Structure 1
Amino acid sequence: MKLSEMLQSIGLDILLKKDFEVSSLAPLEKAGQNDVSYIDQSKYLKDLIFSNAGAVLIREKDAQAVPEHIEPIIVSNPHLIFAKLSKFFIQPQFSLASSQNEIKTHLQTDQELDVGKDTVIMPNVFLGNRVKIGNNCLLMPGVVIGDDTLIGDNCKIFPNVVIYKNTQIGNNVSIHAGTIIGSDGFGYAHTQTGEHIKIEHNGSVVIEDDVEIGANNTIDRAVFGETRIKKGTKIDNLVQIAHNCVVGEHSLLVSQVGLAGSTTTGRNVVMGGQAGTGGHIHIGDFTQIAGRGAVGKNLPPHTKWGGHPLMELDEWMKFFVTLRRMVKKKNP
C-alpha cells in the first residue's frame, strides 16, 4: 500500500513531496528507502543523517532536522501514529498448520516442512508451514510451532511449549514446559482521551546455541528487528523477557526476573530472583544484580548491585545493616 493511502486510512490528510509503496516499519538505523520510521524523543534526531528511511514520523518542532532524502511526516504524536500504522503489517502466526498425525503425508507432498534425522515428534504436536527442525530433536506432547520457525540440532522442547512464527532456535537448546516464545510484547500508544492503541509486534525472537530456558517463561518478539538470547545463557523458571531485549552470552537469569523492553546486557550477567529492569537500559559484562534489585539506569561492567533504590552491593548491605540497627533502637 502507498504511504499516502495508509495515512488517509487512519484519518491523516498530509501532502507528501514523495509517495511510495511501504515495505515495513523499521528503526532509523535499519530502515530502507521504502520503510517508515519515527522519532518520539529529540535525543534520536542525531540518527537521522545516517538513516536511509523513506519517511519519518516526527513532531513539527523537530522537523527541521530531517535531511532532504527523508520525507518528514509531521504529526503531534509520532508514537501514536506509528501504533496505528503497525496494523497494516500484522502477520498471521499459525497459518497452514499441520497436526502431528498428518506430518507423514505432509512430508510427502510439501517439502517446506523439513524434519531432520532421528528427530522424534510425539503425539499432539502442532507444526506450522515452512518449519525446519534439525537432527536428534525431541518435541513432546502439546508443543505448538508457528510458521517459518527454524530449530537446530539436539534440541529438546518440553510439553505445552508454544513457539510463535519466525522464531530461530540454535543447536543444543532446551525449552521447558509451558514456556511461550514470540508472543506480542506489551506495547501501546495512548490517545489524549486515554484509549490504548496496540502496537503490533512484527519482529522475531532468536535463541542462540546452548541456551536452556526454564518452565513458564515468556520471551516476547520484537516490535521490529529481534529479541535475542545469546549463546550459553541459562534462564530459570517464571522469567519475563520483553520485546527487543538482548541477553548477552552465558548470562544467568534466576526465577521471576523481569526485563523491560529494549533492555540489553553484556556477557556473563547474573540477575538474582525477582530482579528487574526499566526499559532501554544496558547492563555491562560480568555485572551482578542481587535478588529484588531494581535496575533503573545503565550499569558498568564488572560491578555488583542490589536494593531499591539500586546501590552498589557493598553500600546496599551497609545501608541495610544500619537500617536494622535504627529499627532495633526505636523498638528495643
Structure 2
Amino acid sequence: MKKFALIGAAGYIAPRHMIAIKATGNQLVAAYDPNDSVGIIDSHFPEADFFTEFERFDRHVDKLHRADNGAEIDYIAICSPNYLHDSHMRFALRSGADAICEKPLVLNPWNIDGLLDIERSTGNKVNTILQLRLHPAIVALKEKIANAAANGKHEVDLTYITSRGHWYLQSWKGDLKKSGGIATNIGVHFFDMLHFIFGALQQSNVHYTSDTKAGGYLEYEKARVRWFLSVDVADVPREQLEKGQRTYRSITVDGEEIEFSGGFTDLHTRSYEEILAGRGFGLEENRTAIETVASIRNAQPLGLTGNYHPFLARQA
C-alpha cells in the first residue's frame, strides 16, 4: 500500500484522484487546499489529515519524510490551478515523493527543463495524467494510422465545446497568466492526443482567439488538423442544444467520425495503474503538447484565411 498526499483537494478533478487512489488499493494520508469545501474526502479517506495553509501542509509532509518509520509519502497528486503545477511538482520531488500532476503539466516548455534537473538531483519522478493516451478508441486509432499505407496526410477536424457559466471568466481559469488561456486549459490533452497519433508537429497557425474560444490549424507528420475549442454555449450545434446538451465533442479523420464519448470515467484509475506499474508518462512526453499550447498563446491570429475550422465562420 502506497501513501499519497493531495494538493488541490477542493478542485473539480480531485475526486477522480481520490477514487483512483482508493481503487488501486492505496491510502490518502494528507490533503491541502486553501478552500475548505472538501467534504468529498469523507466519501473516500475520512482519516486523511487536511490543511488549508500550505506552510502547515509542508511541515506535516516534511515530518513524515523525516520520521524514518515507514510513514513517508510515496506520491503527491497535484490538482492545483495550472500556474502552480510547476512549484508543486518541485515541492513533491524535494519532499522525497514522486509527483502525479494533472494537465497541463506546466505553462511553458522551459519549465520542463528545470523539473528534469530536479528529477536528476532527487531521484524522484514526475508522472502526468495524459488519459486520452489510454482511451481504447484512441489507442485503436493510433494503431490504425500506424498500420495504414502511406498515402499523403490524413485530414482531421477537432471540435470541442464544453460550456461554462459566467463564473468561468471570474475564476483563475479566465486569467491568461494563471490558466494559460483557453487552448491550454481545455485543449492541451487533445493536442497531446494528436501528437500521440499523428507524430511530430510541423506547423501551427492560429486563426482566432478570445477569452472563451480559439481555433487554428496544426500540421503533423501524418495529418492536417483544423481545430476549434470553446466554453461558449452559443457554439454548441443547435441539434445538441435542443436535446439539452451543453457539451459537443467531435473528431473526424478523413470525414469519418471517431466515437470516443464513452470510456472516460475510469481513465484516471487506469492512469494510476500504469504509474504504479512504472509505466507512467513523464516530463518529456509532455513537451510537444506544452510547446503547442505555448505557441498558440503567443501567436498573432491570422483571421479567417487559409485552412480554418468551419465553426470559425460563425465568429466573423
Report TM bin, short chain: under 0.3
Structure with bigger strand share is 1
Larger radius of gyration: 1
Structure with bigger helix share is 2
Higher relative contact order (CA 8 A, sep 6+): 2
